[in-house]
Structure 1
Amino acid sequence: MFITYLRHNLIIYLLCSLFRVMQSSILYGGILGEHIDEVDHNHPDVAEVIHFAKEKARKYESLVANNNFNSEPDILGIHKEKLHYTVNGATRYVKKEYLVEKGKQKIQTKRAIIGLNYRLGLSWSNSSYFHELLITKDRAHRLFIFQHTFYKTNSRICINSSSEINEASKTTDDHITIIDQSSSLGDGHVVPSSKSFSSILRKNPLSLGDGCHKSESYSNSHWKVPSNEAQRQLQILSYNIWNFNSFENNPKYYVRRMNQLGTLVAGSQSDIIGFQEVRFDHLNGEELGPAQVQHLANYLPGYQFVYQPAVSYFSQDLVRVEEGLAIFSKHPIVAHDYILLSRNLSDADDSVHQRICLRAEIIIPDIGVVHVFVTHLSLSPSARFRSVLEIWNYMSGVKGPAILLGDFNDEPHSKPIQFLSGKTDINGVWTSELKDAWRVFHKEPRPDGPGVYQGNEKRDDGLTFNRLDRHLRKRIDYIFVRLPKHLEIKDISLLDDEQWNRKASSDHVAVQATIKEVSAGE
């Protein structure tokens, strides 16, 4: 009996220890997340976040559903997370300050917390929309929105506190298995690829709690799409927005550049947009503010969006500077997650910047579920070699239409791009049914180089980099598609305002593809 008692308590101890480890886990480069178990809705800081989230959700209800509510929504779960600096990916960084008191030197230590994340769900009783938001607070106590997704359900949904804890401790989709290929590449000190922790409400927000009505799990029958939203084609856009850079690093050029870029993207009327080099920078943005995802959202009202930092750049002064990826969609984002791609800490081109791949599962009217993957690969050739294999393993974990887009920092003849195009293998692994969308309709453009073009001879269509030079020089931005038989690529082109140097919207040119449903007679 006593042994059984000890065994029982040992199991509890081990589970608690495991949970404590999972409570402080690597979220992205340079950041450990500390999950807060209990959140008091009445605490002034939390109440401020809830009010901020409600106002954002009201705005979208007004835009999307023409609903104008004066009533208060139900808060369907809230989760808080502290963002700790880490320099080694395992332990929290502690800042030391040296003080002199009464002629004696003292050392004062401070926890290096650069911000707080709050994730919450809310819904109005007289609305069929469920909203999920991620609000971040910086060290100056300012609030910014990093995620806002919403969708319709047949019945009310709610989340109790126990489901929050369970979801917070889970990794991303159980059906996705990431196989670490880095060890077989003999590539120095490599940090393996890793699945991120899932967002609290992301996987199954329809859990039951006291007073909630029974809800179904996710299914296509769950979505109530008005008939005027029905469509037979889908426009996809990929764009590297050059973070906060501007010509000659003059802030006034950034404000003008973002206006130009936002107008260009909004005018494309794309259904889904994948952005790279999206930053939060405490010291930049001028009157627009430090959150670029919010700059983009201002030009894309009515779009849902998810922003995921890939790396937080270390600063002794604890200045928050992060860069990552974003997905914007006109249609419901019903799930999202990301993986941390492996990093070689002994490779100068790979060690500073953590890279990720962000996935969104999106419901498209008349088409169904589409999985969109966005990435921005390393400047290191060996890292890109590893990353494409890790991304393909990630993509292989989901069924149905899949789109991979982004800045791959590699040219078409390189092995990583040849691998994604299905023309070669890596370690015996081949991609299947994945196509380089540009090559479906166009020949490969000749990269600019000595003797290829004469003077100001027009460069081949398809080159995407660099708008800051006199001519575009290479193709490094791609859209890859894996489509079932009932879908096909209709066309692909560059979204380009033909501006150069200080007038350029970005150093990259955006790539836009259209996917359509194949009619029975075609």
Structure 2
Amino acid sequence: MLYQQLKRSFLIYLMCSVLEVLGSNNILYGGILGENVDDVNDTDSDIAEVVLIATNYATKYESLIVSSPDQTHVTSEPVILGLHKVKLHYTTDEATHYVKVERHLVNGREKIQTRRAIIGINYRINLTWKNSSNFHEFLITKDRVHRLFISQHTFYRSGSRICTKYTSTFESKNVRDRATEHLTVSDQSSSESDGHVITPSQSIASILRKNPLSLCGECHGSESYSTSHWKVPQNETQEEFKILSYNIWNFNSVENHPKYYVKRIQQLGKLVASSRSDIIGFQEVRFDQSNGAHLGPAQVQHLANHLPAYQFVYQPAVSYFSENLLRVEEGLAIFSKYPIIDHDYILLSRNISDEEDSVHQRICLRAEIDIPYIGQVHVFVTHLSLSAAARLRSVREIWNYMNTMSGPAILLGDFNDEPHGKPIQFLSGKIDINGIWTQNLKDAWRIFHKEPRADAPGVYKGDENRDYGLTFNRLDRHLRKRIDYIFLRLPEYLELQEVSLLEDVQWKHKATSDHMAVEAVIKRIDRGG
């Protein structure tokens, strides 16, 4: 019966894939246009390799977290529920393909050849096994030298019924439009009136990458989902969870040599794992063909190696252009011990005439996570621009985006702004932007702590201890300012228990990152009389 349901679900998937947001050529993220590949067959050699990688990873993952893994992995072939292949084209103007011009000498005569520059291919695959209740989704990316890397892996286990939810282009556009409504060029500050502000609605920049297979809202609960079979250490008896935000400083190291990065990421991985956080939002996560040494170019895999029992989604925000077509991308990632039942993202608007905003596209990544005894929680992660004007636009767009999702919500990341800045004042509900106010959104740090004084001239004497709560810059002798935050929109049954900085003894040239990580514990509270 379950297998027949899966077959019907697959037919629905095929019909909906025609309307997928990756159809034709769309801007996926900064510098990249997506081209949907039709007529994908699971017997194609590249697809067979992708399926093998996904199957092996899924089997290994289940052995880590499931107390009684399905034995069907050994006796049957995987069932492919959905398959999507997308070519990643370079673009320098967010609209047209970048064309690579090559000159060759043939029989003493110069021959000019032009071709579109493709920096990689993404494969999205959903799989299970016949008679199995375990479901996996992967996004696997191929680089220009045909190496494959796992960028996303989510997993859940169905109970007595299977629920599927498919999101078409039109549904995604509706969410996008709600998130960016009222954000026209005329809304921007007067200082940007001469610039070219690209809003998500203008550039199709807020494409939402919905999971083609995820749990329906009405199917959540003990009947359709349970974590009682998990081996992962959890806080179920306390009905609480810990969330962590960390800017990992991409591939940098003070010594600027690959071997020092290897040491640093191992140090960082151990530190994060030791925090026993249930959900982690990472910023400055890179894919860089020129970095990583023997670990490889995909930082999300370096993190996953240290967090093997976590599901994760990684989304690039920008691909940096280079003439030699080296693939260098930076973005965000969310790791979770619990099922990521849905995820998507928006591209934030960008002013291409603003030097601090034009090069680096910014995004907001969202994951809906099903936490035992808590329910579904929306986690938003972002890393805002160095441009003050862009940050002010972005927080408005993010708030609109958050308002498209009901229920508990957590916004975290590196905001590149201090507490007195307008973006943080807006998110904290202290000021409005064009008549719009946030509601019930709280700066977690300020619930338990006073505002730390920034390390400005005349505030501290010499090596006087800096106030607790500053988060940047660990490469200096002292921390200077607070720019990393966790914002909470919680219902009455959830309460912040504590918020702190993740203790790290390494500083300056041995620093694990240039940022401190911020962590918070949230608990379910019974307020019944």
TM over 0.5: yes
Question: Structure 2 CA distance, aligned partners of 1:361 and 1:452?
Answer: 42
Matching residue of 2:104: 99
Q: Deviations over 1:498-522 (max 9, x none)?
A: 2111111000000000111112369
Return the match for 1:181 from 175, 180, 183: 183
Asked whether the equivalents of residues 197 and 352 of structure 2 are also in contact (C-alpha less than 8 Å), the reply is yes
Matching residue of 1:415: 422
Asked whether the equivalents of residues 428 and 443 of structure 2 are also in contact (C-alpha less than 8 Å), the reply is yes
Matching residue of 1:517: 524
Q: Deviations over 1:473-496 (max 9, x none)?
A: 000000000000111110100002
Matching residue of 1:3: none
Return the match for 1:83 from 60, 76, 88: 88
Structure 1 residues 258 and 43: CA distance shift in structure 2, 3 A: same
Matching residue of 1:172: 172
Asked whether the equivalents of residues 128 and 156 of structure 1 are also in contact (C-alpha less than 8 Å), the reply is no
Which moves more between the two structures, 474-483 or 95-104?
Answer: 95-104
Asked whether 1:337 is paired with 2:344, we answer yes
Matching residue of 1:13: none
Shift of 1:175: 4.7
Asked whether the equivalents of residues 237 and 272 of structure 1 are also in contact (C-alpha less than 8 Å), the reply is yes
Question: Structure 1 CA distance, aligned partners of 2:217 and 2:396?
Answer: 36
Shift of 1:193: 2.3
Matching residue of 1:324: 331
Matching residue of 2:446: 439
Question: Structure 1 CA distance, aligned partners of 2:354 and 2:438?
Answer: 27
Matching residue of 1:10: none
Asked whether the equivalents of residues 331 and 362 of structure 1 are also in contact (C-alpha less than 8 Å), the reply is yes
Matching residue of 1:280: 287
Question: Structure 2 CA distance, aligned partners of 1:155 and 1:308?
Answer: 32
Return the match for 1:242 from 229, 249, 256: 249
Asked whether 1:47 is paired with 2:48, we answer yes
Shift of 1:21: 9.2
One-letter code aligned to 1:489: L
Matching residue of 1:24: 25
Question: Structure 1 CA distance, aligned partners of 2:63 and 2:511?
Answer: 34
Matching residue of 1:127: 132
One-letter code aligned to 1:140: V
Q: Deviations over 1:379-414 (max 9, x none)?
A: 000000100000000001111100000000000000
Asked whether the equivalents of residues 30 and 319 of structure 2 are also in contact (C-alpha less than 8 Å), the reply is yes
Shift of 1:127: 3.0
Shift of 1:38: 1.8
Tell me how many residue pairs correspond in the alignment: 492
Matching residue of 2:388: 381
Shift of 1:48: 0.7
Percent of paired sites with the same residue: 63
TM-score, structure 2 as length reference? 0.89
One-letter code aligned to 2:197: V
Return the match for 2:354 from 332, 347, 352: 347
Asked whether 1:465 is paired with 2:468, we answer no
Matching residue of 2:209: 199
Shift of 1:157: 5.6
One-letter code aligned to 1:433: N
Structure 1 residues 475 and 182: CA distance shift in structure 2, 3 A: farther
Question: Structure 1 CA distance, aligned partners of 2:411 and 2:115?
Answer: 42
Shift of 1:121: 0.5
One-letter code aligned to 1:58: T
Asked whether the equivalents of residues 180 and 390 of structure 1 are also in contact (C-alpha less than 8 Å), the reply is no
Question: Structure 1 CA distance, aligned partners of 2:22 and 2:380?
Answer: 29
Return the match for 1:224 from 218, 226, 240: 226
- Paired residue secondary structure (1:293): helix
Question: Structure 2 CA distance, aligned partners of 1:517 and 1:444?
Answer: 26
Asked whether the equivalents of residues 283 and 332 of structure 2 are also in contact (C-alpha less than 8 Å), the reply is yes
Asked whether the equivalents of residues 314 and 333 of structure 2 are also in contact (C-alpha less than 8 Å), the reply is yes
Q: Deviations over 1:192-221 (max 9, x none)?
A: 025644436x15557xxxxxxxx9964334
Structure 1 residues 373 and 20: CA distance shift in structure 2, 3 A: closer
- Paired residue secondary structure (1:349): coil
Return the match for 1:497 from 491, 504, 508: 504
One-letter code aligned to 1:298: N
Shift of 1:333: 0.3
Matching residue of 1:35: 36
Shift of 1:287: 1.1
Q: Deviations over 1:161-214 (max 9, x none)?
A: xx9xx85645637456122525111422001025644436x15557xxxxxxxx
Asked whether 1:70 is paired with 2:91, we answer no
Question: Structure 2 CA distance, aligned partners of 1:173 and 1:264?
Answer: 40
Shift of 1:37: 2.2
Asked whether the equivalents of residues 239 and 274 of structure 1 are also in contact (C-alpha less than 8 Å), the reply is yes
Question: Structure 2 CA distance, aligned partners of 1:182 and 1:437?
Answer: 31
- Paired residue secondary structure (1:33): strand
Q: Deviations over 1:51-96 (max 9, x none)?
A: 1111111111111114253132211111100000000111111100
Question: Structure 1 CA distance, aligned partners of 2:200 and 2:21?
Answer: 22
Asked whether 1:369 is paired with 2:376, we answer yes
Matching residue of 1:6: none
